[in-house]
Chains A and B, each alone.
Chain A
Amino acid sequence: MTMSEEILRVENLHVSVDGTPILNGMDLLVNRGEIHVIMGRNGAGKSTLASVIMGHPAYEITQGNIHYMGTNLEEMDVFERARAGMFLSFQYPAVIPGVKVGTFLKKSVQAVREEEVKGREFRKEVNEAMASLEMQKSVLNRYVNDGFSGGEKKRLEILQMLLLKPHLALLDETDSGLDIDALRIVSKGINTVAPNAGCLIITHYQRLLDHVKPHFVHVMIDGAIVQSGGPELALKLESEGYEWLDAPKEA
């Protein structure tokens, strides 16, 4: 039996935004090769967890800590986290007019790999990744997410993930707004990266899990995990909702 390689460890994490507590004692352990899914109602704190792991400056850690591959993340800037192999697929990726996708991808890959990428080799790599996601090459000449449909934005996020080859992939509602074909293609991208990374997927829907098989499913309520289980938990949530997990109300 081999030791699991720890990628992400969240311990007793409390997070606030403008003084309002969002996460209230979150614990989570993600090892390499594991796919974790977090489900929960709107406002439960799922996206906050992804954002705070990635270092969004709007969030303040008031208690607890986050370890990534053995390093406490507190002192790491956002770009350092990316260079260390962390990747967040945004629920709402930023639109950046004037910056072409091709330019952006090259700069990003160069920054994360911390080396110049060679033109021909990089083009080949990009072309292969785009082909696997059934993306048109013309996307490279468009501005980042400018005028993109919801599906195009999510595919571009997955394309970046394929090129950056992260150790930790955080996917924040990457399946939202995707049609059946796009969901299949995006899932294929996730499955390509997942075996060599720790994966944390935030979703509202079981349908993604028809394509991406999770090892663990967690339910968040009020900023903490209240239930964990296997894929069967997602099926139960799909059929029964979250009410059965609510604390009984006092009469």
Chain B
Amino acid sequence: MKYADLAVPSRALHLWRYTPWARIHPSSVESVPDATPVRFSLIEGGAALVDGAPRIVDGDDIARVFLSELGSSATTVQTDGSTGVVHLQAVASGHVAVGHLHLEFNHDTAVVLHLSGEADWTGLHVTGAVAPNTRGAFGLINELSSNGKLLHCEDWAVERDAFLELAGLSIGGFRCKSDIRTRFHNTGGRLNQAISVHGAGQRHVDHHVEIHHDVAHTDSSLHVHAACDDQSHAIATGLLSIAENANHCDAGQVFKNLLLSEKARAEAIPELEVLADEVAAAHGAASAPVDPNQLHYLMSRGLDEESAVALLIEGFMQDGFSTLENEALVDEMRTRLTVHLECELKR
């Protein structure tokens, strides 16, 4: 399917309700502008970057088709298993920047991608697969400049007895739309996914997460934590799909929002499509301001209100990563989060 053949998606669709296509498109919706390739580089770790990647485009999904038509270049990460964690940098520059990164997890490895740059609009498509009986972990730290837009898609395939951990830390960009999809291709697969969002100013951050249990005996866990201050707006929509006959799956989704100002907004919309009978599927969502008892407790230990709230924000966002098992990935996400909040909250 060509982008020109696709209709602009309706806001009635779950996926496009809060961030319509026209608001995340870099220009007018009928155009496909020229784009500068995102520059990927290896910061450290046992891996090689090679040109080219398999094209994985989901039939008629407008974001993926659009990203595909914007840029033809792609980069594949080949890890060698010599280090536990691989750090990559992606730099977006120019008016419109686009990049496609592909990861094949054939060794137990964590890959952390630091996305930064001054591009007005960045498109990023990450695709990957975790080989049978392998533990792969991927973390994306969005550190784009504060006035940039981001359209970000991920597509993951989890093979037999493979374990994938996905972490997202969203602290950059002005308007961000992420669509992250994972599909279990065989039995015994596991997914642990955690996303932490810090909303400040007028940031608009929209995460759509789909997890497809197409086969039996697969487990998934999703935790999304968004701390929203000022006039920011965080959205998290989750689609948890368990196919007919995909019995004995265990899946859970938790969405938590911390509202730090009266004008901050947060939406948390988990959605279940369960067609199998013998499964465990649960979801929960909660939005609340700072807990006055927690605040009082910290202040009774000498922290002034600003410091106490800052510590609660940090704790809330750090807690989003608590379910992840890969220590190197968790350490990296948490360290970057702490640095960000120290600057942002001026402690």
Chain A residues packing against B (C-beta within 8 Å): 54-57, 77-79, 81-83, 87-88, 90, 93-99, 103-104, 107-108, 111-112, 143, 160, 164
Contacts and interface: CB of A to CB of B under 8 A. Distances in A.
Contact of A96 (B298, B307, B317, B322): B298
Interface of B: 291-294, 296-305, 307-308, 311-312, 314-320, 322
A221 to B, nearest CB: 27
Contact of B300 (A78, A99, A103): A78
Nearest to B319: A98
A93 B303 CA distance: 16
A98 B300 CA distance: 19
A235 B302 CA distance: 37
A75 to B, nearest CB: 15
A160 B305 CA distance: 19
Given A94-B293, A97-B322, A82 B301 contact: yes
A57 B296 contact: yes
Contacts of A57: 292, 296
Given A97-B315, A98-B316, A99-B314, A108 B303 contact: yes
Contact of B311 (A77, A90, A99): A99
Contacts of B304: 77, 79, 111
A82 B314 contact: no
A27 to B, nearest CB: 24
Given A56-B296, A143-B319, A96 B312 contact: yes
Contact of A79 (B291, B305, B319): B305
A108 B301 contact: yes
A88 B301 CA distance: 9
A104 B301 CA distance: 9
B198 to A, nearest CB: 13
A98 B305 contact: no
A158 to B, nearest CB: 14
A111 B312 contact: no
A81 B303 CA distance: 11
A87 B301 CA distance: 7
A111 B319 contact: no
Per CB-CB distance, the 7 closest pairs between chain A and chain B, nearest first, are A98-B315, A98-B319, A111-B302, A99-B315, A94-B297, A112-B302, A108-B301
Given A107-B311, A143-B319, A94 B296 contact: yes
A93 B304 CA distance: 18
B305 to A, nearest CB: 7
B315 A83 contact: no
Given A57-B292, A97-B322, A98-B315, A77 B302 contact: no
A98 B302 contact: no
A82 B294 contact: no
A103 B338 CA distance: 12
